[in-house]
Amino acid sequence: MNAPDPNPDDAPLLGTHSRRAFLKGFGAITISAAASQTQAVAAELEKLNAEKIVGPGPVPVTLRVNGETLSLSLEPRVTLLDALRNVSTYTGTKEGCDRATCGACTVLLDGAPIYSCQMLAIEAQGHAITTVEGLAQDGKLTPVQKAFAERDATMCGYCTPGFVMAATALLKENPHPTPADVRRACSGNLCRCGTQPRVVEAVLQAAGGAADNGTPGDLHA
Amino acid sequence: MPDPVPAPGALAWPAETRVVGHSTHRIDAEAKVTGRARYASDIQADGWLYGMILRSKWPAARVAAIDLAPALQVPGIVAAVPARDGERTIRFYGEELAAVAGKSKQACLDALRAIRVTATPLPFVVREDDAKADGAAPVWDTAANFIPGTPKEQGSVDAAFGECAAVVEGFYTTPVQIHHPLETHGNTVSWTDDGVTAWASTQGIGSVRDGLAGALQLDQSRVRVVTEYMGGGFGAKFGPGVAGILAAKLSRQAGAPVRLMLTRFDQALAVGNRPSSFQKIRLGALADGTLHAFDFENYGTAGIGAGKASEGGGGGANLPMPYIYKVPNVRTKQAAVAVNAGPASAFRAPANPPASFGMEGAMDDLATKLGVDPVAFRIQNDPNPIRQREYKVGAEKFGWAQKYRRPDPAALALATAGPIRRGVGCAGANWGGGGNKNTGAEVEIHSDGSVEVRLGVQDIGTGTRTVIAVVAAEVFGLAPEQITVRVGDTRFPPGPGSGGSTTCPSVSPAVLDACTNALRQLQTQAGLSDIRDAKGANWAAACRKLGAGTVAARGMWQPGLSSSGAGGVQFAQVAVDTEIGLVTVEKIVAVHDCGRIVNRVTTESQINGGIVMGLGYALYEERVMDPASGVVLNPNFETYKLSGMADVPDIDIVLLDMPERGVIGIGEPATIPTAAAIANAVANALGVRVFSLPITPAKVLAALGKVPSPTPA
Ligand code: FES
Ligand code: FES
């Protein structure tokens, strides 16, 4: 779900445990050595792995969440989701499966939606993390949040933070989505209560699109 | 069945309503879209510990000993308890063995791995047909896996079939379906010398209180259950469950609150499901289209929920047949079969969706055989006048007359140019429901004009909080946002469990009564000689006169304001790709009645939800057991498929508002007919029927004769 990094050279130094760094190194080799060199790959891997090993005990981890800095002590195996919900108090981010299938844990990493259950907290260091608690500024709902409330795109609401984050990321990339765009952007989010039709309506409304039929005609407030 | 007739002069809904029956935003929507809403799984009580359950990897075993000592050696682990003391028999894969509590999830994971279980595997059986066979492994030692049901006959069925002009037969099967609310089951429990507090993800705070009190041998008055927000239930979240009791025991041992939420895997194994069904149906009609004879045999599994005390029965596998239709000659024979799998539990409209799938399928095939229109055929044989009207309204809205074509396989094969075939179908629903007369509510009015309504009910996502605000706002002439609603606490007046579409008809009358009493009291207590009507524009002035006083009033559910018996019909249009077998639902038209509508927008959302869930039942959802190992093969969302964003069709909802009937619930009827309507549309598209849910591509291709049947015969 993470968008390709537009400025790979700007990526912060994260230490070699970062899968992101690992993948980047891997990608560079693939490009430079088109024809041969599985050996070069192996050598590069060895170099990456040799640099620094962390854990299994707790290590200091610094996270930047909604503009605030969190200094935590975490085992390297702790996921970003676990760090947010259980070690810190960002419980707006929900856990529905802990295995990349429901989207309830969606947060923004440098603006791109990710499943926070699929990233280790240590990997998230150096990135700007936005959770659902970080959207509304000074108590003012964002257009996406407002539209979710107005179109009743929340029932039990357990999936809602994830949908709101996915929709927020979509509208940043694509301010005028079609219904199909909305469905695609939210296809990584499950809702057991059945808010899907309302989610599409809400995101289109947030994008400033015309309210289509099915509009509750006489909503109070 | 209507509620008892109210006495003259009794409480009544206002003739004209300002808020009730309109659409009010969910008053807790803002808390939900900002992440402020605290769900049971979000609770971080002071000093809380993480809890986890160790589950059986055997489908059946004799457990001699569970050694928890190594778990307690794991750094960070504070408590460990066995699920049961002494030797015991395990009867399904995923049954609870022990639980641990510790300072982190990671510590708990390590501790679960450290626990040593000494057990002898036992023979097991997980498939319904295998469990019925002679010599099958016994699920319970005390009862047979299966005892055929006793036939029940009304009229003279064998003779009646001889009089029929057309008869159809079919063997319909439906899978075990898993609830999978997005928030798993679980609680945070704190057990101190003062008693127990449980923050529960539950549909019934009272049921959790009573269940914990019973299991822990405490007075019910010493157990408090709080559910401010919870993430869905669908019938399975009643009582504390094994997980709640284990959390309490861990809390006692650790001297700290324990949050024990199930994992997604746990959720699929041990906390309820909808029983399967295997329905042999024979249905016949006279030449004039009147249904005349019905013969029905059915079995299904409720896992270990069948067999034990009921000697082969029980578990909720029996279906209400011939469902909504009037047939003079009926014979039914049903029984549940026990297998080594997690027990069934109530699941949104228990027994109705499978009944609807079988019966409505037979209805369509019979209509085709008789050469009559399926909608007209239903109107002729369904005695319910509201549903008859709904069929007419729905057919019009859907364009049934233009869209319906009698299926003819030969003509279809010639007529369609490409691989896509379209079809339409319909089905009807029926549900009882009704209000719970033990529901109470209390209201406080303050001198600054603010109002608080308190009720010991929980909002499971249906919009109960908002319903309460709507009714109170109606009485006081205020806007719903001006009402502070407090729910989800056993310290408030008793509310109903949220099941069976009973919540709205329970709470609406109680709140109307409490608010009416409060308004009357305000009038006298504030000595409002100059203000004749304290409502609306006069509200602030009237309340100011309370001075240092507060109006506190209570109310109870009253007869005559709610009722039971909701209907509903749904129409489906599908496109089937005959090359790859994929079914796409393009459109659903849903026509429903629920008496007096309290809040239109949340009522419509409930119907959306029922349809989306019914879509999953029709096309995607099925628990798959492995007969060789006895395990559940798809205990997660990557292999147990729910309807996703892209699967959800265009949905058109028509609500019949019938205020004269009083308030009726809508949660169950909205999901009943969806799968049957979709299955009928698929049969209409293909000219052959897929007799088995879910309608997978493989089953479609098999019905078309393109691949062998994937379902065991
Ligand atoms: S909790 Fe991360 S995708 Fe489900
Ligand atoms: S609103 Fe309940 S899961 Fe989406």
Residues of chain A with C-beta less than 8 angstroms from the C-beta of B463: 155
For residue B518 the two structure tokens come to: 């409060």
pLDDT at A2: 42
CA distance A56 to chain B (A): 11
* Fold for the domain defined by A56-134: Ubiquitin-like (UB roll) (3.10.20)
- Could you give the C-alpha distances from B143 to B146, B184, B275, B338, in angstroms and in order? 8, 32, 19, 10
pLDDT tens for residues B581-618?
999 999 999 999 999 999 999 999 999 999 999 999 99
- Which of ligand 1's atoms lies nearest the C-alpha of A106? 2
| pTM of the predicted model over 0.90 | yes
Structural domains in chain B, CATH included, are 29-36+435-556 (3.30.365.10), 42-122+186-261 (3.90.1170.50), 274-433+564-703 (3.30.365.10)
pLDDT at B711 over 90: no
| Cβ atoms B202, B209 nearer than 8 A | no
Answer yes or no: do A183 and B646 touch at CB < 8 A: yes
Instruction: Render each residue's pLDDT in chain A as its tens digit; 221 residues.
Output: 444 443 434 333 333 344 444 444 444 444 444 445 667 777 777 777 666 778 889 999 999 999 999 999 999 999 999 999 999 999 999 999 999 999 999 999 999 999 999 999 999 999 999 999 999 999 999 999 999 999 999 999 999 999 999 999 999 999 999 999 999 999 999 999 999 999 999 999 999 964 443 444 344 33
Q: B112 in helix, strand or coil?
A: helix
DSSP character for B287?
T
**Of residues A86, A157, A194, nearest to B612 (C-beta):** A194
Q: Does B648 touch chain A (CB under 8 A)?
A: yes
The amino acid that residue B324 corresponds to is I
| Cβ atoms B352, B264 nearer than 8 A | no
- Which of ligand 2's atoms lies nearest the C-alpha of B232? 2
Q: Which residue of A has its CA nearest to B178?
A: A192
Q: Is A159 in the pocket of ligand 2 (CB under 6 A)?
A: yes
Interface predicted TM-score (ipTM) of this complex, two decimals: 0.96
Q: Where are the alpha helices (DSSP H) in B138-197?
A: 157-163
Residue B187 main-chain phi, psi, to 5 deg = -150, 160
Of B352, B332, B285, B267, give the one whose Cα is nearest residue B566. Answer: B352
The amino acid that residue B692 corresponds to is S
Q: Where are the domains of chain A?
A: 56-134, 136-221
Q: Is A157 in the pocket of ligand 2 (CB under 6 A)?
A: yes
Residues B247 and B186: their CA atoms lie apart, in Å, by 9
Residues B579 and B577: their CA atoms lie apart, in Å, by 6
Residues B54, B303, B93: CA angle, nearest 5 degrees: 25
Site of tokens 């809602």? A160
Q: What is the overall mean pLDDT for chain A?
A: 83
| Cβ atoms B302, B336 nearer than 8 A | yes
Answer yes or no: do A161 and B35 touch at CB < 8 A: yes
Q: What is the overall mean pLDDT for chain B?
A: 95
| Cβ atoms A100, A81 nearer than 8 A | no
Which residue(s) pair with B293 in the sheet?
Answer: B284, B329
| Cβ atoms B120, B57 nearer than 8 A | no
Q: Where are the alpha helices (DSSP H) in B194-240?
A: 205-216
**Which region among B259-273, B360-374, B414-428, B438-452 has the lowest average model confidence (pLDDT)?**
B414-428
Q: Is residue B206 left, alpha or beta, with left meaning phi > 0 and alpha meaning psi from -120 to 50?
A: alpha
Residues B639 and A201: their CA atoms lie apart, in Å, by 29
Residues 39-98 of A with CB under 8 A from B: 75, 77-78, 82, 85-87, 89-98
pLDDT tens for residues B608-641?
999 999 999 999 999 999 999 999 999 999 999 9
pLDDT at A18: 42
Cα torsion A159, B502, B350, B385 to 10°: value is -120
Answer yes or no: do A148 and B636 touch at CB < 8 A: no
One CATH from 1.10.150.120, 3.30.300.20, 1.20.1440.230, 3.40.190.10 for A136-221: 1.10.150.120
Q: Is the dihedral of CA B371, B376, B380, B381 positive or negative?
A: positive
Residues 146-165 of A with CB under 8 A from B: 148-150, 152, 154-161, 164
Of B478, B443, B395, B668, give the one whose Cα is nearest residue B19. Answer: B478
Q: Is A136-221 the same fold as A56-134? A: no
Mind giving me the DSSP string for chain A? -PPPPS-GGGPPP--TT-HHHHHHHHHHHHHH-SSS-HHHHHHHHHHHHHH----SS-EEEEEEETTEEEEEEE-TT-BHHHIIIIISS-TTS--S-SSSSS-TTEEEETTEEEEGGGSBGGGGTTSEEE-GGGTSBTTBPPHHHHHHHHTT--SS-SSHHHHHHHHHHHHHH-SS--HHHHHHHTTT---SS--HHHHHHHHHHHTTPPP-TT--TTB--
pLDDT at A12: 38
